[in-house]
Each structure stands twice: as C-alpha cells, then as structure tokens.
Structure 1
Amino acid sequence: MSKFVKGAGISFIGQLGSTGLKYLTQVTLAWIFGAEVFGLYTLGLVFYQFCDLFARLGLEFGAVRYVAISTTAESRPKLKGVLLTVLGLPFMFGCVLGGMLFYSSSLIATDIFQKPALAVVLQVFSLAIPVGASMTTGSFATTGFQTTLYRVLVFDLIVPFTNLLFATCLGLIGFRLFGASLAWLIALIVGLILIFYFIYNLFPDITSSKVKPAFNLKEIISFSLPLSFGTFVWLLLIWTDILMLGYYNSASAVGIYRAASQTAFLMILFDRSLITIFAPTIANLFNQEKLSEANQLYKTSTRWNFILTFPLFIILTISSQHILKIYGSDFQAAWIILIILATGQLTRSGGGGVCMHMLAMSGHQYLKLYGDIALAITNITLNFLLIPLWGPLGASIATASSMAGINLVRVIQVKYVLGVYPYSLRDFKIIICGVVTAISGYLIQYFLHDISYLLIIAISALIMIFIYTSMLFLTALNEDDKRLINQYKVKINKFIKA
C-alpha cells in the first residue's frame, strides 16, 4: 500500500498537469480558430486516435504486464524481447496505417464528410501515427518497472506542453489547421526520443549485443489483442458521437460538442492517476497469488476514486454554463450536454475504470471482451438513432448511456468471476455529502450572479470543496480511509523536508 500511495501520488501530479495542459490546448484552439476550425481539427483527431489504437495492437497492456514480471536478473533476455516488441511492432503497423490514411485523406474529407479542408489535417496526423503508437507503448512499458515517473513526465507533461506551445505559436502566425496538426506531430517526436532515452536508463542492456532478446510474440499478442478491443470499445464510446455529428451536422456543431465533452473528460483525472499504478501492482499481486491483497486494493481504489471524483462532478454540473463560456460565447449553449456527459463519466469513477484492469490483469481479458462487444453495439445503435433526431443532445444521451452501461457490466463481471464487490452501505454517506454540497453551490452562484463568471467559478468551487471535505471528514471516512490519508501526509512531509 505504501508503494501504491507513492505511485498514485506521482501519477496524480502528472495527470493534473496533463489534464490542465490538454484542456488549455483545446480552449486555446477554440479561441484562436473558432468553432468551425476547432471542429475540423477534432474530426482529424478522431481518425488519428483510431489508427493509433490499431497500430498499438493493445501492446501497452502487454508492456505493463510482461515488463513487470520480467524484471529479475535471470529474465533479462525476456525483458529485452518484450521491450523491442512493444516499441517496434507499433511503429511498423503505424507506418502501414499512416500510409493508408494519407492516401485516402481526400476521399474521406470530400466524399464522406463533405468537408474538403479536413484533408490537410488527416495528412499531417497520418505521419504522426507510427511515432505516437511507439511512444505510447514505450511509456506504458516504463511503468512495468514499478515507477510512474517516466510515463508521467513524458506522456502526461512534456508531450501536452510541447503540443500547446507549438499549436499556439503556429496558430497565432496564421498556419491555422495545418499548424495545429503539425504541433501534435512535433510533440510526439519529442516524446518518442525521450521514451527511448528513459528506457535505456532503466534497462541499458536493450542496446547491448551481449544480451540476446528472447521473443515471445504469441503470448504477448494473445494477451494484448483482446484488451486492445476493449480500448477500441472505449474509443467508440468517446468518438462515435463526434464522427456521426461530423457526418450529419456542421463542423461548428462538432466543435461546440467537443468543448462540452472535453470538459466532462476532466473527471477522469483521479481515475487515470489511480489506474496508472493500479495496473502493474494488481498484475504483481495476481502473479504472486495474493488474492486478498488484490481484492482489498480494488475496494480501496474504487472507493477513493469515487470520493475524489464526486466533487469535481458537482462543480462541473453546477457551473456548467460559466465553464463553457471560457471557450467563447458560442459554446455556452452546450451546458446541458456537459451535464449529461459528466453523469456518464461519474459511473467510470464508481468502479468501471478499476474493474477493467482487475479483469485484464487477473487473466479474464476475454470475459471483459464479451461485455465490451455488447456495449460497442449498443453505443453505435444509440448514436445512429438519436443524432439524426436531436443532434448534439442525442449524441450526449447515447454516449452517457453507453458509458454507464459498460461500467455497470464491468462491476458485475468482477463480482461474478472474482467474488469481490466494491461497495457498501457506508458509501451512501458520500452521496449525501455530495447532495448537500450541490445545493450549497447552487445557492452560492444564485447570489453571485452579478460578478465576473470566472470569479463565480472560482469562489463557488472553493466553497463547495470546503463543504464537501468538511462533511466527508465528519461523517463518511472510516479508520482505513484515515490511515490512507496519514500515509499521504507522511509522503508529503518527507518531500517537503527533502
């Protein structure tokens, strides 16, 4: 638990910086270019994400597991084989998929989406696919060494910051869509170079001719591919709405919807922070057959994931109109879309994200796969039915419903195969604390309506966090929770003294 607390803390710092940088990038692009160009950029990003996913083959999951169980001295050949596999295969497949996207860019932009300006975005993003795929799997491989530092530094901080810096500079000097896309390519190249450097520091034998790599492609790929489909389902959940909106609606509608969805994604901050260290820790516990420790870590992670995410959900919903105004006045009308999408994201913090890795790292990846298939079909069907009727509102309802469904299924699957359930009656106290906080926040904003919207967001958020935290300590935390908090206090005090 001490190692988990330390790793989760480092990961949270990285996720906080990464989320802030990515969100600031989206706001900056929306301010510089407006809703229409922002929408075209978003559509190009969708195609990049899907091609990047297929190029990775799910090897980011295999990297975590097989690096984690191959770090002993006698396993150096296996470790070298794993690292070369997870770095090389995604790059090769990325070149193939990138070439296909580059040569079909005009067809996609003009004949399918009737948006010719989209072609240049697709062409630049196609060059980024092999670089991004290898960088991602390599960054996940570093976490298999039981450290989150390098992944956080590169994947969560340096790449988003580089993207923000170049996107802003190129956008301001007039490069618009081309500049925004090129910034992403530059950021990924920087990230890949750094990942190679850090992997060499962690395992210098990767370049040594004395250590011959022992490849086990069949085992790694058979483990990784089912999990890759799970990621594919996740991308369907978050991108199907964008693709269908781009087909049925204008680029401006896509841009406005994207602002709401990106704001809702702020809620995965704590979920990702916990999962970054949760996955390799759980893999080791299951490998050592320490089932009781794994189950306890699952319960603790789920509970704290919800505790930390719930106040963020309250702030986003109560301040939805004011927050979207940051993007510009055209985006403010999407406040109800933000609330719906945030509700879907809240179910992820209630166990869905952690459950995914419980199933994967315990060897039940195929059971997870079957649930993912059913939910993928549901998501596509709902978007197909609701977007033509209600546009962006229909997209938000379809996506949030699908997200809630897949997270519920994952909790049930973990209960069925591992016999552990993350919730208890005491968790209702957390919900009560949240309800009181939400009512207080609404009343605060009602009386502050005459001041700047930025001040309204800041003041109400601070007061709501204070109310929620105070009620939590007074009514909802148990002894295990307080011991966990004390461990964080010890870590923080050591850091300050150092």
Structure 2
Amino acid sequence: MVSYQKFARDVGFIGTVQVLTSLGTFFLLPIITKTLGTYDYGLWAQINITVSLVSSLALMGLSMGFVRFLSSETEKKIIKEAVYSILFFVTISGFVASLLLYIFAEPLANFGFKDPEATYFIQAGSALILLSVIESISLFYFRVFRQIKKFSYFTLFETFGKLFFILILLEMGYGLLGVILATLIVQSFILLISLVIIVSQIGFFIPRFTHIKEYLQFSLPLTPSALVRWVTESSDRYLITYFLGLGSVGVYSAAYSIGNLIQLFASPLQLILLPELSKLFDENKIDQVRIYLSHSLRYFLLVTIPAVFGLSAFAKPLLGIFTTQDFLSGWLVIPIIALSGLLAGIFQIFVNIMFLVKETKSATYINIIAAISNVLLNFLLIPSIGIIGAALSTLISYFLMIVLCIYISMKHFMFDYYYYDIAKSIFSSFAMYLFVSCFVISNIYELFGVAAMGAFVYIFVMFIIGGFSKCELSAVKRYTRPRL
C-alpha cells in the first residue's frame, strides 16, 4: 500500500508538472504561429517530425531497454556499466544520424518538403538529433531510478527555457532560425547538467559493453516499432505537404498540438508505470501488477474523457485565441486528435504487459498494422477531405492498435476495467460539454473561466451519480480539511 501511495504521489507530481509544461506550450504556440505564419510554422513542424523520426531510429529502442533491465537493479557496478555503455552507444549512433541528415538535407528539402530553401534550416536542425538521443537516455536515468523531482525540473526547464529563448530570438528578428537555435541552446544546457548529476551520483566509467548485446536483443525489435509509430503519428505531415503544401501543414500542426494536449494525462503514467511494474513483476508480485494496471486505467480515463469533451467544446476558441485567423480552418482536427490521444493513452497502459513478458515482437506487429492502415487511409482521405482526413486516419489507426493490444494483453493479464465508472464519466462529460457550449468565448480570461466552471460541472455530476468511490471521497476530505 505504501508503494502504491508513493506511485500515486509521483504520478500526481508529474501530472502537475505536465500541466505547467502544457501552459508553457500554450504560450509558445501563439508566439511562434503569430510570428512565423502558416508556412514557416509548417516548415518548423516538418523539421520537428523529421528529427523525431531519425532520433528514434538512432536510439534503437535502448531507452526502453534501459527501463526494463535497470528498474530493479541495485548493484552499482552493473548500473555504471549499463548507463555508460548505452550513453556511449547512442552518442555514436546519434552523431552518425545527425551527419547523414546534414548531408542529405538538400534532397530532403526538394522531395520531402517541396522547398529547396528549406535545406539551410534542415541542416541547422540536424544537430538536434544528437542532442535528443543523448538527452533522452540521460533523462531516462532519473526516470528509471525514480528521481522524479529531478526529471520534472528538467522537463519544466526545457519547456520554459525554450519559451524564453525563442521569444528573445524572435524579437531579435531571427525567425525560424531563432526557434531552432533556442531549442539547441536549451537542450545542450539540460544535457550538460544531467550528465554532471549522473557522474556525481555513480562516478565516471569507461564501459566494456558487457551487456549491450542483451540490451539490443530486447531493444532492436522495438526500433521498427518506433519507426512505424512515427508513421502512425507523424507521416501525415509529409503526405499533407505532398497533397496540400506546407501552409496546410502549419494549420494542421497547430490544431494537432492543441488536440494532442490530451497526452499530458498519459505522460505521467508512461514515465512512472513501466519502471514500477517491472520491479513488481521481477519480484513476482503479480496481484500488485494487476492493481497498478487497473487503477492506472481507471484514473486515466476519469481525467481524459472530460478533457476530450472539453477540448472539443473549446476547439474554435482555442485556435482563435492562440493562433491567427489563418489557422482557424483546422478547428475540427482538435476533437479528433484529442480522442486519438485518449486511445493512445489506453494503448500505452496495455502495451506495458507486452514489455513485462518481453513480447516486444507483438507490439511491433501491432504498430506495423496501424502504420500501414494510417498511410493507406491518408492517401485515400487527404485528397478528398484535406487535413480532416489526416486526423481521421490517425483516429482509426489508434483504434486498431488498442483493439489488437487488448486482445493480446488479455492472454497474459486480466484486471478490472471499471466499466460503470467509465460510463458515468462519459455521462458527466457530456453534461459538461452541453454547459460550456452555451458560452461565447473571445479571450483567454473567458476561456479559463468557462473551463473552470466546466470542470466544476463535471465533478458535481460525477458526485451526484456516484462516480467517485468512498475511498476517493475520504481522501479528498482528508487533504482538503483545514489544519488547525
């Protein structure tokens, strides 16, 4: 029970951090969109997804191997060997990947971006790959060894550091290059500080790569999975560029970034759940594994279901307030991507079961099926209904993923899904949606005010229909009771 309470506190802490980082993202969106416009913002989105693709390939799935093999490790010698062997390995692979993107920037700009002038910006952004892969592993160190506060502080600094430097460089007239430079500066600083902390905790060590083969045997099957996940999540930007141009990519990406805020509710679980489950599974505490999965799914849905309804109700006001009129045509993308984010979160909870039993090939096959369906649907829908087609393709692909993932996972673990509580949450969320839809919102103050009232309506209806357990209500009373 104590362990679960600590798990819940860590998730709550990470959740708070995610809310703060999301606010930072909200403030960053209008700064970039209103300064760069749809075309340059689309170019920045393309660079971002290209970096994410190449970075995931350069990592070779080793970040997940890091989590799976070291979550329950206590021997310092083994930890040092693992940490530095993985760090050295991804540094080399990240450097090679960055170099290749720099070399092939011109053909990518011509054929992938349909803009030869994008070559310069792609080359500038190629260094982000090297920084991203090393930063990913160094931050995973804090996640694996449950140093949640340090991990959270780095996350906060990355968001608000980018906000600060991007604002300065845009004011200085650097445009898109300033956005890239600001990202490089912040990631370099985070990488430096995180490595200093790691060395101070475990010392410096020249690795012998003793277990790297074992790590790669687990991780390499996840590399195609990362590739096909990228196809499912991001390849639509390239297809929108091909059919509609970079301006449409800018509109779609702005709406997608708002709809994808639903992921902030999944992130705390993704960061903490697998290390905790791995430890319990290795200790053969299967009943506790079921409890963690069951509670994680329930609380995730109790929060994300109303969030999806809320983002759907606020779709137009959000785009109108945080971007310009040029982006407003993409408002319908927001509810579709929000629902996709909810499905993605469910998938992230269930796929942990495959990682625990080391059935990573099944996860890869699921992602391949989703990726193929996504590409085919994009080719079919984008020419006919534009960026809405891209959003629908993502939604259908995620639906396929969770159906297959739940089917396979249930062969290994069965746990309580709390169907009645989920139904009550949907009912309360719909009541909230009807309430907030009555308001006309024209500025950020009205937005937050109506959102607060909507949250109150959801909680009130849930309370009336018995959507919260007695344990949850007593916990609220305990933490909200005035202390004398």
Per the alignment, residue 64 of structure 1 pairs with 67
Q: 1:222 to 1:22 in 2, by over 3 A?
A: farther
Q: 1:304-315, aligned counterparts within 5 Å?
A: 304-315=299-310
| Equivalent residue letter for 2:147 | T
Q: 1:61-460, aligned counterparts within 5 Å?
A: 61-70=64-73, 72=74, 75-154=75-154, 156-201=155-200, 203-204=201-202, 206-207=203-204, 215-325=210-320, 326-349=322-345, 351-420=346-415, 422-443=417-438, 445=439, 449=440, 452-460=442-450
Q: Is 1:55 equivalent to 2:58 in the alignment?
A: yes
Equivalent-residue separation in structure 2 for 1:293 and 1:18 (angstroms)? 31
| Equivalent residue letter for 1:399 | T
Query: SS of 2:259's equivalent?
Result: helix
Equivalent-residue separation in structure 1 for 2:309 and 2:455 (angstroms)? 10
Residue 208 (structure 1) shift: 5.8
Residue 327 (structure 1) shift: 0.7
Residue 342 (structure 1) shift: 1.5
Residue 229 (structure 1) shift: 3.3
Per the alignment, residue 37 of structure 2 pairs with 34
Per the alignment, residue 467 of structure 2 pairs with 476
Q: Deviation digits for residues 469-492 of structure 1, max 9, x if unmatched?
A: 1122332112354466578x39x9
Equivalent-residue separation in structure 2 for 1:286 and 1:110 (angstroms)? 49
Deviates more, 1:183-192 or 1:359-368: 359-368
Superposition RMSD in Å: 2.2
Contact 1:322 1:332 in 2 (8 A): no
Deviates more, 1:109-118 or 1:391-400: 109-118
Equivalent-residue separation in structure 2 for 1:19 and 1:85 (angstroms)? 34
Q: Specify every segment of 5 or more residues in structure 2 that has no aligned partner in the other structure, as ranges.
A: none
Could you tell me the TM-score, scaled by structure 2's length? Answer: 0.93
| Equivalent residue letter for 1:168 | L
Q: 1:410 to 1:23 in 2, by over 3 A?
A: farther
Deviates more, 1:11-20 or 1:334-343: 11-20
| Equivalent residue letter for 1:167 | I
Deviates more, 1:466-475 or 1:220-229: 220-229
Q: Deviation digits for residues 240-293 of structure 1, max 9, x if unmatched?
A: 111111222221111010011000111111111122111110010111111110
Equivalent-residue separation in structure 2 for 1:396 and 1:215 (angstroms)? 45
Residue 395 (structure 1) shift: 0.8
Contact 2:86 2:212 in 1 (8 A): no
| Equivalent residue letter for 1:88 | F
Q: 1:63 to 1:393 in 2, by over 3 A?
A: same
Contact 1:347 1:404 in 2 (8 A): yes
| Equivalent residue letter for 1:479 | K
Contact 1:86 1:134 in 2 (8 A): no
Contact 1:238 1:399 in 2 (8 A): yes
| Equivalent residue letter for 1:226 | P
Q: Deviation digits for residues 71-130 of structure 1, max 9, x if unmatched?
A: x2xx22211111012212111101111111101111111244321232122111111211
Quote the sequence identity (%). Answer: 22
Residue 214 (structure 1) shift: 6.7
Q: Deviation digits for residues 363-391 of structure 1, max 9, x if unmatched?
A: 22222222112111111111122222222
Equivalent-residue separation in structure 2 for 1:23 and 1:96 (angstroms)? 34
Per the alignment, residue 15 of structure 2 pairs with 12
Query: SS of 1:418's equivalent?
Result: coil
| Equivalent residue letter for 2:324 | G
Residue 462 (structure 1) shift: 1.2
Q: Deviation digits for residues 129-172 of structure 1, max 9, x if unmatched?
A: 11110111110122111222222221x21122222222221112
Equivalent-residue separation in structure 2 for 1:324 and 1:69 (angstroms)? 45
| Equivalent residue letter for 1:297 | Y
Equivalent-residue separation in structure 2 for 1:472 and 1:198 (angstroms)? 44
Equivalent-residue separation in structure 2 for 1:199 and 1:422 (angstroms)? 39
Q: Specify every segment of 5 or more residues in structure 1 that has no aligned partner in the other structure, as ranges.
A: none
Q: 1:121 to 1:26 in 2, by over 3 A?
A: farther
Q: 1:80 to 1:45 in 2, by over 3 A?
A: same
